[in-house]
């Protein structure tokens, strides 16, 4: 079976776009093949800085022949209807149609349309240029005089199709002023000559000889393994950074790892500053001592070529740039240390947070007030919480954070510590941004918790007030992340906290909590059973779900749920029939059997217990109390006819079931539970 080899050779593709682009190209081609009736066995996408490649195996030489039966108008129908049928079926006269008969509808015309399959080369010649022209680059560019847009200028297109033993056929097409062919190129510097390729196997081998490692993951493995071996030989360990590793692998086609050093004096800087400086400016990896774990004055660089001098010139160039950048960082750091954080606050008056929400200075004022209000609830010192909130954003005006925004909060902690602030305040300055993702740590000290909650709640309430809410997949202000941060802080620190926010925002918190709990394995029906539009304590919701889940995992819980459903179904039918709602007002004198008397007594006792336990947030105890209803509920339904002929007795029994329903609803809406 033939295989397709398709390569788009271009100027350097930004590293951050490469992996997604390889997947998008593979998907675009394979989807189009299937839509045109062509199957395939396997497909793979590859990417280097200068090429996107897709190979598709076992593609049939042509799409299959098809046969279609198309029903037409009745015999004797108006000429206009018959003419439309002929056009749609591709017939030239009605004699080419077949007449069929139906006992009810009479005789009517039928066309049997036979379509021959289309050759794969013809289909590919049609779909490949469309895939290129419709490729989903975020910001493509136009170059030269052509109309084609691509992320970077295209230099060549390879498109071949054929079997392993035959000379492949070139899929001929043009996009812009670029024609397809079967020529690619090797490494820009070490093997720049043209390479004629036939199919993927010889293409892959030819690129290897031409100093190009086609597979992004393989380049990452080469860099990682070579760097680790180089470091191990010096008794050092690499500071791992998966994002940097993928970025560097996206910058080189032939990775060559080498080690350099910087002046020992720069180790006086905070480690995070050194790592960020070297990563940001030179895309190099830092190193730690294998025994102490402390940062050392070495770095690992990755070159895109094998240098004739063994890389000495490349290392020296990196050392010069890194030395200069660390010198700048040291200057920023020392200047910032000499300026009290409080003295930076006036600069926040000129820093716009949002054009509808004012400046960072205004935001700080709101955070100070809010952190003070939250402090007592979370067990924090009010004065410390306000002080931390006041200084939390000050480092945004520092020279170091202006240079490296990713260090915000962290630099504030360093400066606050050096300037004699309380350790709890310094910690809160760093941690108030956290968590920044589902796997990031949450602040655990009370002052940090107060400021982190103030930061996120101010953001959420502010954007809700100006109607800037997430829509679909669009969330430019990371409000989903902020809401999840509030949830995780409260739940993981087991803080009972009433969210005093507008209903729409409370519903947003509920949605985020549902997503989190479902990701953790909670059944969606339990989440829905517990959450109401008034559930403003997130910890309470989580505790109820946990306790409810534990109950329903038992035989007693399932039996109680079955009894509830039976009661609820009876009530629903009677309430609909009588156009009324049974409130649970039970008259003891009308309880005529031992089983209904026992159930009424059990419900009364359970109602008191559950009410008290819910009031004190003892949901495990409340659920346990509900479980004790299982036996009297079972015995009631075995011995008692609810719809007694006597109206008063029947009404009393329905009220008894309503009282059971109301008692169970104190913990959760059991009608929403499906299991």
Query: Can you tell me the distance from the alpha carbon of 628 to that of 422, in angstroms, rounded to the nearest whole number?
Result: 52
Structural element, H or E, at residue 73: strand 66-74
- pLDDT more than 70, % of the chain: 100
Among the residue ranges 68-72, 287-291, 507-511, the one predicted with the least confidence is 68-72
Decide: 663 and 607 in contact? Cβ < 8 Å: yes
Query: Can you tell me the distance from the alpha carbon of 522 to that of 261, in angstroms, rounded to the nearest whole number?
Result: 51
What was the pLDDT predicted at 164? 80
Q: At CA 665, angle to CA 659 and CA 666, rounded to 5?
A: 100
Query: In whole numbers, what is the pLDDT of the chain averaged over residues?
Result: 94
Structural element, H or E, at residue 236: strand 236-238
Q: Is the pLDDT of residue 435 over 70?
A: yes
More confident residue, 113 or 343: 343
Domain 554-672: CATH class, spelled out: mainly alpha
Task: Give rounded-to-5 percent helix, strand, coil for the chain.
Answer: 55, 15, 30
Query: Can you tell me the distance from the alpha carbon of 250 to that of 243, in angstroms, rounded to the nearest whole number?
Result: 11
Read off the pLDDT of each residue in 126-139 and give the average, rounded to a whole number: 94
Q: Where are the domains of the chain?
A: 3-61+119-209, 66-115, 216-337, 343-548, 554-672
CATH code at 343-548:
1.10.3210
What was the pLDDT predicted at 675? 59
Domains 343-548 and 554-672 fall in the same CATH topology: no
The tens digit of pLDDT for each residue in 211-269 reads 999 999 999 999 999 999 999 999 999 999 999 999 999 999 999 999 999 999 999 99
Q: Is the pLDDT of residue 665 over 70?
A: yes
Residue 29: CA count within 13 A, CB half-sphere: 30
What was the pLDDT predicted at 446? 98
Burial per residue of 402-419, b for 16 or more beta-carbon CB atoms within 10 angstroms, e otherwise: ebbeebbbbbbbbbbbee
CB-based contacts of 67: which residues, under 8 Å, 6+ apart? 112, 113, 114, 115
Q: Output the CA–CA distances (angstroms, integers) from residue 361 to 229, 347, 390, 393, 396, in the order listed.
A: 50, 8, 9, 9, 11
**Residue 77: alpha-carbon gap to chain centroid:** 58
Q: Is 521 left (phi over 0), alpha (psi -120 to 50) or beta?
A: left
Read off the pLDDT of each residue in 318-327 and give the average, rounded to a whole number: 98
Among the residue ranges 60-74, 173-187, 499-513, the one predicted with the least confidence is 60-74
Read off the pLDDT of each residue in 66-76 and give the average, rounded to a whole number: 87
What was the pLDDT predicted at 245? 98
Three-state DSSP class for residue 654: helix
Q: At CA 596, angle to CA 593 and CA 602, rounded to 5?
A: 140
Read off the pLDDT of each residue in 631-647 and give the average, rounded to a whole number: 93
Q: Is the pLDDT of residue 539 over 70?
A: yes
Query: Can you tell me the distance from the alpha carbon of 226 to that of 258, in angstroms, rounded to the nearest whole number?
Result: 9
Query: Can you tell me the distance from the alpha carbon of 449 to that of 442, in angstroms, rounded to the nearest whole number?
Result: 8
With CA atoms as reference, report the closest residue to 399 among 310, 476, 338, 356.
338
578: confidence class by pLDDT, cuts 50, 70, 90: confident
């Amino acid at each position: 079976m033939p295989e397709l080899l398709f390569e788009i050779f271009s100027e350097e593709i930004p590293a951050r776009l490469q992996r997604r682009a390889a997947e998008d190209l593979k998907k675009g081609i394979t989807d189009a093949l299937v839509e045109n009736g062509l199957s395939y066995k396997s497909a793979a996408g590859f990417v280097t800085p200068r090429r996107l490649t897709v190979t598709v195996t076992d593609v049939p030489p042509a799409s299959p022949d098809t046969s279609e039966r198309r029903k037409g108008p009745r015999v004797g129908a108006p000429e206009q209807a018959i003419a439309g049928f002929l056009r749609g079926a591709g017939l030239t006269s009605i004699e080419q149609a077949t007449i069929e008969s139906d006992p009810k509808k009479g005789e009517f015309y039928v066309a049997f349309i036979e379509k021959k399959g289309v050759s794969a080369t013809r289909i590919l010649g049609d779909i490949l240029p469309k895939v290129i022209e419709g490729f989903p680059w975020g910001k493509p560019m136009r170059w030269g005089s052509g109309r084609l847009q691509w992320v970077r200028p295209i230099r060549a297109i390879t498109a071949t199709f054929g079997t392993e033993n035959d000379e492949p056929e070139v899929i001929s097409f043009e996009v812009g002023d670029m024609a397809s062919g079967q020529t690619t190129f090797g490494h820009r510097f070490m093997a720049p000559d043209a390479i004629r390729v036939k199919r993927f196997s010889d293409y892959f081998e030819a690129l290897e000889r031409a100093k190009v490692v086609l597979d992004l993951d393989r380049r990452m493995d080469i860099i990682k393994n070579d760097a680790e071996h180089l470091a191990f030989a010096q008794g050092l360990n690499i500071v791992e950074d998966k994002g940097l590793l993928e970025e560097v692998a996206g910058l080189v086609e032939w990775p060559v790892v080498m080690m350099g050093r910087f002046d020992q004096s720069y180790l006086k800087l905070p480690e995070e500053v050194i790592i960020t400086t070297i990563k940001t400016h030179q895309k190099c990896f830092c190193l730690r001592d294998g025994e102490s774990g402390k940062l050392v004055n070495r770095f690992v660089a990755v070159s895109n070529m094998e240098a004739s001098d063994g890389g000495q010139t490349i290392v020296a160039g990196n050392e010069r740039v890194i030395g200069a950048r660390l010198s700048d960082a040291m200057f920023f750091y020392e200047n910032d240390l000499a300026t009290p954080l409080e003295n930076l606050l006036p600069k926040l008056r000129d820093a716009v947070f949002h054009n509808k929400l004012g400046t960072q200075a205004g935001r700080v004022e709101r955070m100070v007030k809010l952190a003070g209000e939250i402090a007592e609830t979370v067990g924090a010192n009010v004065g410390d919480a306000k002080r931390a909130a006041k200084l939390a954003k000050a480092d945004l005006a520092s020279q170091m954070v202006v240079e490296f925004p990713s260090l915000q909060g962290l630099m504030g902690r360093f400066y606050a510590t050096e300037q004699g602030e309380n350790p709890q305040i310094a910690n809160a300055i760093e941690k108030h941004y956290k968590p920044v993702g589902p796997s990031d740590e949450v602040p655990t000290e009370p002052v940090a918790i107060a400021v982190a909650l103030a930061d996120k709640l101010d953001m959420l309430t502010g954007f809700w007030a100006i109607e800037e809410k997430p829509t679909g997949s669009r969330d430019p202000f990371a409000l989903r992340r902020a809401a999840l941060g509030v949830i995780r802080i409260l739940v993981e620190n087991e803080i009972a906290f009433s969210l005093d926010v507008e209903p729409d925002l409370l519903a947003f918190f509920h949605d985020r909590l549902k997503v989190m709990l479902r990701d953790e394995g909670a059944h969606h029906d339990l989440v829905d059973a517990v959450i109401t539009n008034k559930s403003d304590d997130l910890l309470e919701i989580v505790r109820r779900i946990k306790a409810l889940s534990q109950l329903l995992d038992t035989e007693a819980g399932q039996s109680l749920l079955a009894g509830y459903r039976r009661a609820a179904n009876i009530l629903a039918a009677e309430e609909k029939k009588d156009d009324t709602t049974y409130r649970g007002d039970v008259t003891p004198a009308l309880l005529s059997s031992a089983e209904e008397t026992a159930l009424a007594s059990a419900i009364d006792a359970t109602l008191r217990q559950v009410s008290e336990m819910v009031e004190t947030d003892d949901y495990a105890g409340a659920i346990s109390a509900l479980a004790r209803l299982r036996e009297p509920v079972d015995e009631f339904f075995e011995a008692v006819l609810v719809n007694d002929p006597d109206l008063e007795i029947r009404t009393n029994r329905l009220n008894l079931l309503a009282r059971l329903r109301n008692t169970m609803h104190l913990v959760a809406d059991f009608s929403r539970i499906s299991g």
